[in-house]
Each structure stands twice: as C-alpha cells, then as structure tokens.
Amino acid sequence: MSAIEKQHELQALEAERALAWIEGLSSDSAYMDDLRSEIAATRSAYVAMAVTEIATLRAELSGPQEG
C-alpha cells in the first residue's frame, strides 16, 4: 500500500466520523472511541509511509554517496 492509498483510507474514516455526527451516532461512545482510535492509527501509518516514500525518493535522486 502506498501513502496515497493510506491517505484515501484516512479520508474515508474522517468522512465516516462526520457522517456519524450528522446521523446522531456521536452519543455511541464505544463506536466513536473505536473510530477515533482507528483514525489515529491510520494517520500515524500515513505519516510514516509518506516520510518513508520521501526519504526513498531523495535517496534515489541523490544517487550513491561516496565516503
């Protein structure tokens, strides 16, 4: 999975959270807590994947380093 795919997953979860508020599910603490945890984990994974992809691209663009 790429960072962009993980970003789309995060956006879908955030849309789910917004819809839950609209539909009045914000009072279901178990559901909202689970959704909040899933959003936090997905956001952390997205950031890690994005940083890794950026570092990989920079390394590829820099080429081999001679020491």
pLDDT at 49: 97
pLDDT at 15: 98
Q: Is residue 16 part of a domain?
A: yes
pLDDT at 43: 98
* Pair of tokens at residue 31: 């559901």
Is residue 67 predicted with pLDDT exceeding 90?
no
Q: 12-48: per-residue pLDDT in tens?
A: 999 999 999 999 999 999 999 999 999 999 999 999 9
- Structural domain count of the chain: 1
pLDDT at 54: 96
Residue type, 5: E
Q: Which domain holds residue 16?
A: 3-62
By C-alpha distance, which of 56, 61, 49 is closest to 4? 49
Q: Is residue 67 part of a domain?
A: no
Q: Is residue 34 part of a domain?
A: yes
